[in-house]
């Protein structure tokens, strides 16, 4: 219930109002539930990597479809609800005001969790954009934007109506989060809809890659880091009963962090077809980011000066200390991985996974657990049911983290080095990708043990919190009294717009923060679109045929991107294994790009023409029939499911709108071309004694796979006739000799 | 491509400007104010950990 309207009061006069605890409890319960769901999905993924049959041959739970369920659930459901739980609790108390609107609070809660349910349903069904951490299709993306705007209004409205004059540093982090996530989500999410559950990214190839990883890394920055830093600045002093070590340091590291983080996105694209200048900016700014990140870490740990004895006794503080330490580890490792020479080893390996989970399990997971252990006793006006159980949770979770991260380091460095190993004759030591995969399977088993331990700890916590709640009495509101710095009552009108909205510092702060985060994005992204030389065109590159396009969309649906990259780096070890390195101009019609970020299986960019059609048919039906020891799941349903061509005209029209040069009216000819290509593949399959139905999905997938990487082997397009001879564009094969590995 | 190096230089200058400004502003803030801000979570009216930290079930 919003505060009742009051008569004007004198400044400094005490006012009585209530904090809303119901909304905090709702987000807290959702956090625990989604934590279990998200971690379970992760455990399923982990098991499938050494036991592919764990998908029970069901298309809905293959690794490619479940991995995004895991990432979305742990990031947006678990951390998201955890973030809102902490923000709604701390913001009211730091502002000494109830939330701006109870209605918006509950719209936010139900809207956010409905979105997560929609994600949990649509992702296993294959409705995905394939863009990492932005997989949800356009209707859900619109819903996310609406709910996020509601949250931002609630946040800023509460700040505007605050009784506490000064805006604590935690609130700056919340403001930066709200504004930046909105910008990132909207810009990266731009799609042209095709059907209700399918759209194409407005960006293509290199540009899509840059926008995606500008978004992706800043989802880490402004969803996983800044709000949690804000929460750390509230909950750590509260738990330790100590003031923040250095408020000056918090001011400086806040501005440095939000400015620098935005630039770091290209460190996901080092040694790819992204222009060198963008890669260099990403690398340099990532390294500079160590300073503000460690500023935050040190501020947190040094706040505990004189309170380390409390850490021994209080499980909440134990979790907090490990969280902040893990944050420090992840933020020194991240910049290290962003150095090009280190990245040349680590990219596509499990080292990246180890790094991610140091932050996710350590920083986000442990800080969320810490907040839950802090909040439940207070919300229920009781003590924690069992400190001993909380301590068991702590040690089991730490052990789980170690079993997760250390095997992944081992696996990452092993595979990185083995990929690059040459024998004394100058050939690849391990030419078969599978020779390397079998070496790291034991590490995948250990990682699953780690995940099992971590989720076991989470169950212990859930039980402990449930018993705490049962023993206590929930107080939906906390009545408090506080003096306002204002000359008028906090709620002088129902909607404090106008002069109140423009009042001084919160809006100025929000504006400056927005400017700080926009600069990096604009400087990195705008030249990529404006300066044509960033993406040298290759005249032989043509749009996908109708059949290849449908095959590509099936590739996206099945989540093949989760295991297979399509970006060959300019290293001899890669060109020997996969073929010519990938050029920017080859991806100009790729909506969205499919470069991938992990090689559980080999790179596929030059797989076109490498194997006969029959090999692909058999491989997709049962990977182990062609590749003994493979951990790839079976895709037998592709052989039986009929290809859906009803939306083909809409797909072609949509792609034309975003710049793919399908001729006008091509929709009318597309079906004929599709049939012709299907018939050809069916004929080719007969060579392998396979009698296939041309209308099945497998034919489209084979068409797409056989197209990959073949454009640069094709003859250049004939020059356009003109009154004066026009120079023929040739591919800018910008062959730089990178360091041989 | 021409002129692209200018973007990096401009951005570094902007960052140095903002960062220096924040540094100067932070350094010139009065110590009592900084100390007061640093203790703000402890003055929000909610009990601190000592008062409700102990479990009743072992």
The band of B2, judged by pLDDT with boundaries at 50, 70 and 90, is low
Q: Does the pLDDT of residue A741 top 70, yes or no?
A: no
A246 touches chain B (CB under 8 A): yes
Answer yes or no: same fold for A20-522 and A546-713.
no
Predicted structure pTM score = 0.89
pLDDT, tens digit (0-9, with 9 covering 90-100), for B7-32:
777 777 877 887 888 888 888 888 88
The band of B53, judged by pLDDT with boundaries at 50, 70 and 90, is very low
Q: Does the pLDDT of residue A690 top 90, yes or no?
A: yes
B9 touches chain A (CB under 8 A): no
Beta bridge partners of A193: A199
The answer to whether the CB of A339 falls within 8 A of the CB of A389 is no
CA dihedral A331, A63, A348, A554 (to 10 degrees): -120
Sequence-distant (6+) residues with CB within 8 A of A707 are A544, A545, A548, A608
Across the interface, whether the CB atoms of B19 and A255 are under 8 A apart is answered: yes
Residue of B nearest to A527 (CA): B4
Structure-block tokens of residue A485: 């710095």
Q: Does the pLDDT of residue A56 top 60, yes or no?
A: yes
Q: Does the pLDDT of residue A336 top 50, yes or no?
A: yes
A384 touches chain B (CB under 8 A): yes
Number of residues that this document lists for chain B: 58
Three-state secondary structure call for residue A143 = helix
B20 touches chain A (CB under 8 A): no
Separation in Å, CA of A379 to nearest CA in chain B: 11
Residue of B nearest to A275 (CA): B1
Residue of A nearest to B52 (CA): A383
Element (H or E) spanning A15, and its range?
A: strand A14-20
Beta bridge partners of A201: A191
Structure-block tokens of residue A213: 């990883």
pLDDT, tens digit (0-9, with 9 covering 90-100), for A164-187:
888 999 999 999 999 999 999 999
Beta bridge partners of A642: A696
Element (H or E) spanning A14, and its range?
A: strand A14-20
Q: What is the DSSP letter of A598?
A: B
Q: What is the DSSP letter of A18?
A: E
pLDDT, tens digit (0-9, with 9 covering 90-100), for A208-260:
999 999 999 998 899 999 999 999 999 999 999 999 999 989 988 998 999 89
- Each domain of chain A, given as residue ranges in start order, spans 20-522, 546-713
Bigger pLDDT: B32 vs A707: A707
Per-residue CA distances from A654 to A25, A548, A649, A671 (Å): 44, 16, 9, 16
Cα separation of A202 and A184, whole Å? 15
CATH assignment of A20-522, among 2.102.10.10, 3.10.620.30, 1.20.210.10, 3.90.245.10 = 1.20.210.10
Q: What is the mean pLDDT of residues A333-341?
A: 96
Cα separation of A722 and A719, whole Å? 9
Q: What confidence score (pLDDT) does residue B55 get?
A: 40
The band of B33, judged by pLDDT with boundaries at 50, 70 and 90, is confident
In 3-state terms, chain B is what percent helix, strand and coil (to 5)? 70, 0, 30
CATH number of A546-713: 1.10.760.10
At A482, phi and psi to the nearest 5? -155, 155
Task: From chain B, pick out residues whose CB is under 8 angstroms from the CB of A263.
Answer: 11
Question: Which residue in A157, A46, A143 sits closest to A99, CA to CA?
Answer: A157
Residue of B nearest to A256 (CA): B19
pLDDT, tens digit (0-9, with 9 covering 90-100), for A366-386:
999 999 999 999 999 999 999
The Cβ of residue A333 has, within 10 Å, a number of other Cβ atoms equal to: 18
Q: What is the mean pLDDT of residues A1-26?
A: 73
Element (H or E) spanning A387, and its range?
A: helix A387-420
The band of A55, judged by pLDDT with boundaries at 50, 70 and 90, is very high
- In terms of Cβ atoms closer than 10 Å to its own Cβ (0-12, 13-18, 19+), residue A740 is exposed
B24 touches chain A (CB under 8 A): no
Q: What is the DSSP letter of A495?
A: S
Q: Where are the alpha helices (DSSP H) in A75-168?
A: 80-95, 102-122, 138-160
Sequence-distant (6+) residues with CB within 8 A of A477 are A18, A19, A20, A21, A22
The band of B51, judged by pLDDT with boundaries at 50, 70 and 90, is very low
Q: What confidence score (pLDDT) does residue A188 get?
A: 93
The answer to whether the CB of A606 falls within 8 A of the CB of A578 is yes
Across the interface, whether the CB atoms of B48 and A238 are under 8 A apart is answered: yes
């Amino acid at each position: 219930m919003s505060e009742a309207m009051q008569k004007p009061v004198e400044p400094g006069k005490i006012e009585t109002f209530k904090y809303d605890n119901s909304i905090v409890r709702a987000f807290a319960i959702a956090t625990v539930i989604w934590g279990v769901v998200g971690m379970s999905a992760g455990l399923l993924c982990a098991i499938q990597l050494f036991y592919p049959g764990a998908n029970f041959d069901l298309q809905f739970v293959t690794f490619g479809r479940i991995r995004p369920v895991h990432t979305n659930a742990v990031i947006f459901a678990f951390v998201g609800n955890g973030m809102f739980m902490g923000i709604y609790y701390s913001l009211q108390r730091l502002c000494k005001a109830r939330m701006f609107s109870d209605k918006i609070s509950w719209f936010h809660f139900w809207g956010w969790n409905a979105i997560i349910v929609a994600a949990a349903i649509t992702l296993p069904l294959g409705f995905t954009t394939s863009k990492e951490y932005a997989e949800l299709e356009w209707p859900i993306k619109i819903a996310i934007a609406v709910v996020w705007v509601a949250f931002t209004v609630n946040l800023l409205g509460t700040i505007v109506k605050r009784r506490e004059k000064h805006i604590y540093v935690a609130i700056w982090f919340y403001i930066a989060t709200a504004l930046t996530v909105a910008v990132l989500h909207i810009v990266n999410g731009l799609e042209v809809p095709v059907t209700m559950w399918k759209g194409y990214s407005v960006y293509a190839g290199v540009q899509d890659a840059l926008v995606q990883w500008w978004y992706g890394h800043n989802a880490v920055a402004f969803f996983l880091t800044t709000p949690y830093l804000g929460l750390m600045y509230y909950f750590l002093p509260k738990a330790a009963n100590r003031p923040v070590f250095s408020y000056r340091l918090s001011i400086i590291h806040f501005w440095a962090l939000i400015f620098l983080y935005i630039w770091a996105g290209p460190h996901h694209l080092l040694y790819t077809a992204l222009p060198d200048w963008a890669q260099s900016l990403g690398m340099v700014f990532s390294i500079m980011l160590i300073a503000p990140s460690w500023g935050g870490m040190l501020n947190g740990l040094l706040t505990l000066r004189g309170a380390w004895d409390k850490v021994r006794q209080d499980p909440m503080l134990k979790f907090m200390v490990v969280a902040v330490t893990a944050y420090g580890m992840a933020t020194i490792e991240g910049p290290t991985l962003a150095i090009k020479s280190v990245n040349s080893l680590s990219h596509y390996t499990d080292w990246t996974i180890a790094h991610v989970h140091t932050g996710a399990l350590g920083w986000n997971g442990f800080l969320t657990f810490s907040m839950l252990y802090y909040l439940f006793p207070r919300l229920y006006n009781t003590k924690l049911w069992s400190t001993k159980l909380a301590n068991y949770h702590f040690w089991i979770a730490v052990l789980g983290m170690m079993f997760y991260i250390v095997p992944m380091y081992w696996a990452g460095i092993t595979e990185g080095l083995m990929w690059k190993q040459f024998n004394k004759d100058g050939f690849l030591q391990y030419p078969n990708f599978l020779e390397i995969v079998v070496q790291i399977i034991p590490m995948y088993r250990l990682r699953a043990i780690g995940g099992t331990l971590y989720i076991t700890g989470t169950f212990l916590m859930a039980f402990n919190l449930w018993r705490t709640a049962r023993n206590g009495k929930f107080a939906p509101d906390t009545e408090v009294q506080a003096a306002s710095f204002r000359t008028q009552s906090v709620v002088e009108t129902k909607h404090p717009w106008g002069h109140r909205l423009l009042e001084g510092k919160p809006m100025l702060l929000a504006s400056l923060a927005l400017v700080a985060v926009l600069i990096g994005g604009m400087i990195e992204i705008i030249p990529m679109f404006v300066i044509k030389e960033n993406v040298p065109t290759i005249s032989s590159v043509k749009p996908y045929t109708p059949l290849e396009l449908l095959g590509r969309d099936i590739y996206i649906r099945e989540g093949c991107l989760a295991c297979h990259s399509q970006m060959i780096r300019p290293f001899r070890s890669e060109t020997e294994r996969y073929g010519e390195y990938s050029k920017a101009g080859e991806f100009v019609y790729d909506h969205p790009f499919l470069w991938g970020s992990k090689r559980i299986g080999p790179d596929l960019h030059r797989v076109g023409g490498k194997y006969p059609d029959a090999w692909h048919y058999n491989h997709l039906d049962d990977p182990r029939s062609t590749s003994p020891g493979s951990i790839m799941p079976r895709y037998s349903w592709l052989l039986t499911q009929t290809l859906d061509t009803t939306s083909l005209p809409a797909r072609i029209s949509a792609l034309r709108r975003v710049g793919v040069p399908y001729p006008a009216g091509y929709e009318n000819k597309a079906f004929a071309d599709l049939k012709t290509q299907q018939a050809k593949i069916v004929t080719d399959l007969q060579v392998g004694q396979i009698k296939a139905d041309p209308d099945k999905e497998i034919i489209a997938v084979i068409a797409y796979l056989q197209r990959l990487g073949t454009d640069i082997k094709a003859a250049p397009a004939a020059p356009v006739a003109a009154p004066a001879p026009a120079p023929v564009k040739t591919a800018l094969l910008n062959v730089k000799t990178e360091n041989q590995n | 491509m021409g002129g692209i190096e200018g973007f990096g230089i401009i951005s570094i200058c902007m960052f140095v400007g903002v960062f220096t400004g924040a540094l100067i502003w932070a350094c010139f803030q009065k110590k009592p104010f900084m100390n007061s801000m640093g203790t703000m979570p402890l003055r929000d009216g909610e009990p601190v950990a000592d008062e409700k930290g102990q479990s009743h079930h072992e």
